[in-house]
Amino acid sequence: MSIVQLSPPIHSQFSSHHNPPTTSDRGIVFHEKVRYLKALKVNPEKAFRLNPELRSSPLATLESVTRCLYSLGVPRASLGRILDMNPVLLTCNPYYQLYPLLDFLLHEVPIPFPDVHLCILRCPRLLVSSIDNQLRPTLFFLRELGFCGPHSLTCQTTLLLVSSLENTLLPKIEFVKSLGFTHIEVSNMVVRSPGLLTLSVKKNLVPKVEFFLKEMNGDVSELKRFPQYFSFSLERKIRPRFGMLRQLGVSMPLADMLKLDEIAGVLSPSKVAIILMAVRRGRQKN
């Protein structure tokens, strides 16, 4: 059974030009909306609190929203999660608020239609972000940064569109530049590793840079070659792996050190050392 059929549009039974709904009728419609929200696995109390318009909106409005999202490819199981996160969507007009986003993703980003629902699932905030004030300006900025042509945004990276230019993107770019990177080098880094733009400068980038430079005695040029370094957990992967290599007396490039992380959990330290040294010799030959 389709979600949009979970509750019949009973509001139509009570709508009459000559006979306005009675208090009793409105109560019935209200309870129907509550049941509909629960069927979608949306918290009714939270929805009514965060979206007061929901109380007076007809059930047909909720149904039109769920139909629209479902038509975009959003799975039924995910509808409730998205609507519970953003109750304001429950009373939106799809023709003015949702379909323009579809047009933007399809023709301006552009994203293939089969991938649109993946953009939404990965970043539901797209549905409640202003195209003119947020999404389009950020798209222009990202294109200038290098996200164009073969490196254009995909369903995996459209979440960057909801990032604030001044408070999120620019501070990270300026931080990387402060390490001695040129603008072109920063562009190459973020295009190769877009996740870098989603990380906190204070909580993520700074601690990892300090550990790399001070504890590992690393060279910034290696970060240019392997910007994915920032995507690894400092406490769960970088620090433990470096500590193991130091105990073994093995030194190797960041890429090899971190990509071989799984080895430590299944082999003895001596075998790990043999494998790591073999990798190092192979790189020296190349």
Position 277, amino acid = M
Contact residues for 260 (Cβ-Cβ < 8 A; gap 6+): 241, 275, 276, 279
| pLDDT over 90 (residue 259) | no
pLDDT at residue 276, as a whole number: 56
Residue-wise pLDDT for 211-235, tens only, equals 999 999 988 889 888 888 998 999 9
Report the alpha-carbon distance of residue 82 to residue 64 in Å, rounded: 15
Q: Please give the pLDDT value at position 134.
A: 97
Q: Greater confidence, 165 or 2? A: 165
Q: What is the rounded average pLDDT of the residues 57-70?
A: 93
Across 244-267, average pLDDT = 72
Contact present, 212 and 223 (Cβ < 8 Å) = yes
Is residue 70 over pLDDT 60?
Answer: yes
More confident residue, 266 or 163: 163
* pLDDT tens by residue, 106-130: 999 999 999 999 999 999 999 999 9
Share of the chain above pLDDT 90, in %: 63
Give the per-residue pLDDT at 244: 83
- pLDDT bucket at 131, cuts 50 / 70 / 90: very high
